[in-house]
Amino acid sequence: MFRYFMNRLLSLIPMVLVISFLIFFALELIPGDPITAMFSPELIASVPVSEMDALRESLGLNDPFLVRYFQWLGRFIRGDLGFSIVTGKPISDVIANLLPATIKLALAALLLSTVLGLIFGIVCSIKQNSWVDYIFSVFGVMGISVPEFFIGILAILIFAIRLQWFPAQGRTDIGLNVIQSLKFLVLPACSLGIVLTAALTRYTRNSMLDVLNKDYVKTARAKGLPEWKVYIKHAFRNSLMPVSVLVCFRLPMIISGSVVIEQVFGYAGIGTRLLHAINANDYQLVLVIIFMLSIVSLLASVLIDIFTALLDPRVRIGGRQTAEGR
């Protein structure tokens, strides 16, 4: 298992390099350069061309594309993320201040949606074709169809403005205890997790119903085992593999969805900062944030493979045989 895990991690290296190159190349195609983002057009027009060329030379902007790419990649590997063009602050400080808030939001949405999705899916499979099953089926279709930002707006209108249970905007931990600070997290996490809850409910239901029709489940019932043991020990346990794959696969989608949700709720996180950086043409900050989000997506794919190998030994055995065949 350790060898399989190391092989999957090593396979990330070429993918990370390719993704970093593509992101750097895509930002290279955007009109303008960091100089045009740092100064207003009026100021640029008033400065002599020779001085602008000297500034570009000092920042290394006149170097060839590949030279600038490998210089940036080398600095990134050493931990030097550079500076924000707009604020002048080190990007590492920006990431350190905002990334934990986004991780907290994503993990809260993932935990909430996983628990509720599994419970709802199990109940639907047990109460198949009942009114409970129909209600959760309608919820699943609506949850998948409605966009996250619309759910967030409805949550603000109902729970923040009308009922005034939770704050509508912002995020702060200053002078607040744990319960008070969590109030700023409830609505964004629930709005972000509803889509995954709906998808996981339908997926768990279908996976459970597929397992319940297997021969070993029928044999367990024929032996006189209690129904709760049949559902939990035999059906649910054997339906976990496709469900766990879906949960891990949704992790990067939750990270990307947090960009929209943070903007709706004014939640100070990495997603909000990314949108501000794009609007301000802060190339260096956009490059680092998008690259780090891409790494999170790749790590999620590794988690999917590891969970699949843990739940199904045939996966890692097949991978080892393929490696030996090479």
Concatenated DSSP letters for 69-129? HHHHHHHHHTT---B-TTT--BHHHHHHHHHHHHHHHHHHHHHHHHHHHHHHHHHHHHTTT
31 occurs within a structural domain: no
Q: What are phi and psi of 177, to 5 degrees?
A: -85, 180
List Cβ neighbours of 198 (8 Å cut-off, separation of 6 or more): 117, 139, 140, 141, 142, 143, 144
Q: In sequence order, what are the residues at sequence separation of 6 or more whose Cβ sits closer than 8 angstroms to the Cβ of residue 51?
A: none
Residue 253 CB neighbours (<10 A): 17
Question: What is the four-CA torsion angle of 92, 67, 77, 32, rounded to 10 degrees?
Answer: 30
Would you state the pLDDT for residue 109?
A: 86
Measure the CA–CA gap between 39 and 45, rounded to whole angstroms: 10
Instruction: Give every CB contact of residue 286 below 8 A, 6+ residues apart in sequence.
Output: 27, 274, 277, 278
Measure the CA–CA gap between 268 and 87, rounded to whole angstroms. 16
* Residue 230 domain flag: yes
Q: Helix or strand or coil: residue 294?
A: helix
Residue 18 placed within a domain: no
Q: What is the pLDDT of residue 75?
A: 85
CB 122 within 8 A of CB 206: no
CA atoms within 13 A on the CB side of 228: 0
pLDDT at 322: 46
Q: How many domains does the chain have?
A: 1
- Gap between the Cα atoms of 149 and 146, Å rounded: 9
CA distance 140 to 206: 12
Nearest of 69, 99, 111 to residue 292 by alpha carbon:
99
The predicted structure's pLDDT at residue 32: 66
For residue 280, being part of any structural domain is answered with: no
Which domain range does residue 184 map to?
94-274
Select from 125, 257, 98 the least CA-distant residue to 188. Answer: 257
CA distances to 117, 123, 140 from 212, in Å: 18, 13, 21
Residue 323 CA, chain-centre distance (Å), reads 31
The pLDDT of residue 128 is 77
| 8 A C-beta contact, residue 178 and residue 186 | no
Residue-level pLDDT at 77: 86
Asked whether residue 313 is assigned to any structural domain, the reply reads no
In a domain, 240, yes or no: yes
Distance CA(250)–CA(200), nearest Å, equals 10
User: Is residue 301 situated within a structural domain?
Assistant: no
Q: Within a domain: residue 206? A: yes
In this prediction, residue 311 carries a pLDDT of: 62
Mean pLDDT by 10 residues, the chain (326 residues): 72 86 84 67 70 71 80 84 78 83 83 85 80 80 79 85 79 58 81 82 80 72 71 70 72 75 80 80 83 81 72 53 47
Which alpha helices (H) appear in the chain, and where do they start and end? 2-28, 34-38, 41-46, 49-58, 65-77, 91-126, 131-145, 148-155, 178-212, 215-222, 227-229, 237-238, 240-265, 270-279, 283-311, 313-325
Look at residues 240, 210, 204 and name the one whose alpha carbon lies nearest to residue 118: 204
How far apart (Å, rounded) are the C-alpha atoms in residues 29 and 18? 17
Q: What is the CATH number of the domain that holds 211?
A: 1.10.3720.10
Structure confidence at residue 44 (pLDDT): 67
